[in-house]
Amino acid sequence: MKNPIVILFLCTGNSCRSQMAEGFAKYYRMLNQLDVEIYSAGLEAHGLNPRAVQVMEEADVSIKDHTSDIVSLSLIARSDIIITLCGHADEHCPALPPKVKKVHWGFEDPAKATGSEEEILDKFREVRDLIDQKMKWFIKRLASAKQFDYEDILR
């Protein structure tokens, strides 16, 4: 039996973008019955953002039981793919073992949005929808790959 592919979504605070990516990836993994382990973590732990939870619930994907975690060296060592979702995490990602493929998919930080509550939530929804599109694409590529080929899947 082969080991599952381990994917880590990494952000600075593990409060919004990486949590949404983990939620969508797990949802699409289930739909595609993939043998993949999916995690999210941060360089720091800022706590799960309640607005991220709210907009994910609107998309019928619950992340309310997620925790905001600091990335560990053991998780990095177990990972096959690390996907950074913000520039800070991309620039400050710890040194990676040679087997780990790192990819950067930058998304705007919805937690920095200003304005009315509705305007802020609209920014969260916009980022959520962009992450959703990327996860649909990514998991579909992963599901259709005959063998695990980083370059083909991540292109």
Q: In the beta sheet, which residues pair with residue 42?
A: 11, 70
Closest of 57, 64, 137 to residue 103, by C-alpha? 137
CA dist., res. 150 & res. 3, Å (int): 15
User: Which residues are catalytically annotated?
Assistant: 11, 86, 93
State how far Cα 57 lies from the chain centre: 16
Q: Interior CA angle at 19 toward 35 and 71, to 5°? A: 80
CA dist., res. 79 & res. 99, Å (int): 8
